[in-house]
Structure 1
């Protein structure tokens, strides 16, 4: 009885004086959750059971003999005897204990003590704060425990002391959750942590939370939540440690850590995540904060990463339909130049030229300007030119795009964009003879859309673990233009203005397997929806970047999905062997062709670093409705990626 009165007295004292410091430390008031010390067995019993508890059988010392050399003591024997746990409690508490799954047969005495302690902690976590193991009786292989459960404590009322209503609301406080509700120490601790987190994000990293004016009426607890904010702390400046040439002014705007603003631990954590998204910087350690005279100075250990890129890839492909004077083998090319972090300001410029076959060429350009007008927004633009000079289907498509991107702190980027797409037919003397519309047509398409990218990759160039997910959708108005060289009667039953919707997604996952092994799984797909689609409206699929084992941009599709499974075996940090399989599903939905295809590509390759850059070699085979899996139809791609 006296022991429980002492426990109640300590409970009141802790509720009055318990405090939690900032930085999400555990409140001293939570010490009331700890159970009383388990009563050890009496000395006489403990002496007899000590050898058993330690797992050894004691051997009496040998009697002295007159011989000069005493007899050697016998070697202790190791035994392991199970213990039977018997709980003795009041009759009214027995139904309650049936909800708790505890073992009654345990391997040794230490396991018994742990099981009893776990049971007491579980009871206290369920609002039985005075639960305790009052007495343990040890008799041979049986341990009898006198367990006291006690009353179930509850909140009579938890009131707001000096906290603003907005802060309490953001911390998840609702008065009804703390009125006539069970007192659960873990929930009270979580509320304290949430309040402290809100305080340290508003400039008070040294705040403390405590329960003030606590009153205990029987098993009902009442009090006020009181916050002692401490001194107001503001950001001082950024300090870059390391050999990075990045501009401090750019980082201040990009990370939104302006001098004079109230300190926020959340912004510091977000800064680390945002820095890991930049391919031209490497964060060597977590940001360090030093407080002095009401100011917080943030230190960043950064190193520049070689991110500028020059690629030159050459493809050797068989020509399926060689014409007069043409060779059976055709060469394709892909040249890419990418400049990142221009003059330390984070700006990027890229240019790519691709020759997909003898009659097709493609040009891509892009520009990125971060911290636009001093905001965390990034202004970017892309331009795409595709020209096909096929004698049968000759056309040219232009696709300029402008987008505004916000890099979120949760390792993601959200973009709003507008895109203009203009496609026109190249002059053909046979147009006047046509009696139906050709597969390609003159169109203008203006769309507005949203794109989101989220990544947790551990390395932007050679990832071994993490996830990359992106998706985009757009909607716009498509206008068909009349070609003056075509008969106007061909356009009579054709809707010239329609709504067009497009969507796309890309999912990648990198998983470590064994020593140096990485499994890459990828899913990529796009879809286009319109009342009347033409060939030059469709997506182009095939080649090294989408579906290996086929010619570059070999397929036209209105909807497609490509799944990839690839195993990489790294031999060093930037060298690996790989084998892959690509499985696609393509659908073409135009007036002259409504078909599906399920191409499969498989192959192997290697990638390693040389003095000139990263060399890659890929050999792939493909199979679809028109092409069988054959070695003489294999595709070879090789090239060098140089970063500087």
Structure 2
């Protein structure tokens, strides 16, 4: 008897759970076959677990047809056909197509309404009824942007205008005064230079409060090397003030770069070494300033010393200052000193324009002047420059996606016996084309031209080396005009290691020697990114247009960029 009882109990529990877990079918029909077809076209959920789910689905569908213009729809109820099938009846009735909305002209202007309607009149505008929710949300967002984040928007007095149209009044309620940013509090990096906040990020006190605009502007912090945004901005509202909280962290933005190069000397057939030092210091004084020091000691007895100082937003103004000093020494032939001072204006985070002066002085160091083209001279130029820079902050190895720099210089060169008009124009532009997360193409073009009636050897443009034409010695090529294209195909092996090909091509003219020449560089390289910095190695072979390809004319260039 006891065994029979437990057997019945097991059977009851098992089949009871199956009964309770069975699916219920919902069918919704209209008053006519046409209405049923329209309801089916909306697509509603037909399979449910319980009756409450069925009821919510019918109410949801009723709300959907209401928004589509069936404002007089009539829900007849839900009937149970059997244990698993339920039938709901919904009479759609007449569909209304258009809605005329009457508004207060002091709140909304026609420029705003032109974005949402093609039919605008003196005191009302007309929209499709199906777009009502989107239109009201859009208007409410625009009102919030004007400093009223707690405004309430709704339609009242909805009435039938004619057979296919409705009309209503637009009511906007706001129980507060216009909100502006009264105070800005920076957490984490309290010494962040406020001038950047005002002129670069474009956020400042007394600005009309607009949360969406603030979040969009705060994304510009990604373009600053010395700061990161810890989390999204937050707002504290009080009765009579609005406080904006920004959460920032100061980041490592200094870098040290050096490389060691070696290759076969064509004259001695021995291995030669050369290298350089590149030091960049950024925002160490919490002013946003940057200082660069570059020194190159090259195997062809050339020496280069260069410093650059950038002081942004002087006296909290949108104007900044760029100072530069460049000293180039060619063995015992000559020494050239370039000094420049430019005032720049940051148009936006990506664009900058500048103007200033460039002064060049060169002296002949030869005791006995065997060259008539190496003479003492002084040049003074007026400079205009433009830069476009776009970063890809998600990529630590290649942080800059696009960089375009154009500089024009117009002035005079003075010698002992004559003065001559000159112009010096330079372009440097590159872009990374990301094919997918692992594959990319790097394309760079450089070019400089010196325009003059006569030319001196110690004023010629110098290029070649790891940062221009690879496979050649640093600054070993002289020209009055040159154009250069660098290309690389890059493959990311993992998040910290990449390999690449390199193909360089250059064209040059030298009007002193009356030569025109084409140069090429080919090779491969790889880069390794670690916590200590970025290690790069290039193997490149350079040759000229009429020269046989020779694998012995190689250059191996190693560099290491360390951030601190």
CA displacement at 1:317 relative to structure 2: 1.9
* Aligned-partner Cα distance in 2 for 1:68–1:212: 66
Supply the RMSD in Å over aligned alpha carbons. 5.2
1:398 aligns with 2:338: yes
After superposition, the Cα gap between the structure-2 partners of 1:216 and 1:622, relative to the gap in structure 1 and judged at 3 Å, is farther
* Aligned-partner Cα distance in 1 for 2:503–2:451: 28
CA displacement at 1:632 relative to structure 2: 7.2
| Structure with more of its chain in strand, by fraction | 2
Assess if the C-alpha contact under 8 Å between 1:245 and 1:304 holds in 2.
no
CA displacement at 1:444 relative to structure 2: 5.4
Which deviations, in whole Å up to 9, do the C-alpha atoms of 1:344-378 show, x marking residues without a partner? Answer: 33333222222344233333322222332223x25
Structure-1 residue corresponding to 2:385: 449
After superposition, the Cα gap between the structure-2 partners of 1:444 and 1:274, relative to the gap in structure 1 and judged at 3 Å, is same
CA displacement at 1:531 relative to structure 2: 6.6
Match of 1:471 among 404, 407, 423: 404
Match of 2:282 among 318, 340, 354: 340
After superposition, the Cα gap between the structure-2 partners of 1:143 and 1:214, relative to the gap in structure 1 and judged at 3 Å, is closer
* Aligned-partner Cα distance in 2 for 1:159–1:269: 30
* Aligned-partner Cα distance in 1 for 2:377–2:72: 82
* Aligned-partner Cα distance in 2 for 1:144–1:629: 86
Structure-1 residue corresponding to 2:465: 542
CA displacement at 1:602 relative to structure 2: 0.9
Assess if the C-alpha contact under 8 Å between 1:456 and 1:468 holds in 2.
yes
1:601 aligns with 2:534: no
* Aligned-partner Cα distance in 2 for 1:115–1:395: 85
1:196 aligns with 2:143: yes
After superposition, the Cα gap between the structure-2 partners of 1:577 and 1:69, relative to the gap in structure 1 and judged at 3 Å, is closer
* Aligned-partner Cα distance in 2 for 1:316–1:133: 84
After superposition, the Cα gap between the structure-2 partners of 1:308 and 1:212, relative to the gap in structure 1 and judged at 3 Å, is same
CA displacement at 1:208 relative to structure 2: 2.9
Structure-1 residue corresponding to 2:353: 415
Match of 2:259 among 300, 314, 322: 314
After superposition, the Cα gap between the structure-2 partners of 1:360 and 1:601, relative to the gap in structure 1 and judged at 3 Å, is same
CA displacement at 1:379 relative to structure 2: 0.6
Match of 1:577 among 476, 497, 518: 497
Structure 2, gaps ≥5 residues long: none
CA displacement at 1:387 relative to structure 2: 2.4
Assess if the C-alpha contact under 8 Å between 2:193 and 2:288 holds in 1.
no
After superposition, the Cα gap between the structure-2 partners of 1:227 and 1:142, relative to the gap in structure 1 and judged at 3 Å, is closer
Match of 1:387 among 313, 325, 328: 328
* Aligned-partner Cα distance in 1 for 2:47–2:284: 69
* Aligned-partner Cα distance in 2 for 1:279–1:335: 21
Structure 1, gaps ≥5 residues long: 1-63
* Aligned-partner Cα distance in 2 for 1:149–1:450: 65
Structure-2 residue corresponding to 1:622: 541
CA displacement at 1:291 relative to structure 2: 1.8
* Aligned-partner Cα distance in 2 for 1:121–1:356: 78
- Give the secondary structure class of the aligned counterpart of 1:273: helix
Assess if the C-alpha contact under 8 Å between 1:156 and 1:181 holds in 2.
yes
Q: How does 1:526-565 map to 2 (within 5 A)?
A: 526-528=446-448, 538=461, 540-543=463-466, 545-546=467-468, 548-553=470-475, 558-565=482-489
CA displacement at 1:285 relative to structure 2: 1.5
CA displacement at 1:636 relative to structure 2: 3.5
Which deviations, in whole Å up to 9, do the C-alpha atoms of 1:250-273 show, x marking residues without a partner? Answer: 566555655555544356335523
* Aligned-partner Cα distance in 1 for 2:548–2:329: 23
Assess if the C-alpha contact under 8 Å between 1:442 and 1:483 holds in 2.
no
1:508 aligns with 2:508: no
Which deviations, in whole Å up to 9, do the C-alpha atoms of 1:449-485 show, x marking residues without a partner? Answer: 32222224136xx258x7632323344536565675x
* Aligned-partner Cα distance in 2 for 1:125–1:463: 51
Structure-2 residue corresponding to 1:360: 302
After superposition, the Cα gap between the structure-2 partners of 1:627 and 1:404, relative to the gap in structure 1 and judged at 3 Å, is farther
Q: How does 1:100-499 map to 2 (within 5 A)?
A: 109=47, 148=92, 150-163=94-107, 165=109, 169=112, 172=115, 176-177=119-120, 179-183=125-129, 184-200=131-147, 204-211=148-155, 215-218=159-162, 219-224=165-170, 226=172, 228=174, 230-242=176-188, 244=189, 246=191, 253=198, 258-259=204-205, 262-265=208-211, 268-269=214-215, 272-311=218-257, 313-322=258-267, 328-375=270-317, 377-385=318-326, 387=328, 389=330, 396=336, 398=338, 400-406=340-346, 408=348, 411-418=349-356, 420=358, 422=360, 426=364, 429-432=369-372, 445-458=381-394, 462-463=396-397, 468-477=401-410, 479=412, 497=421
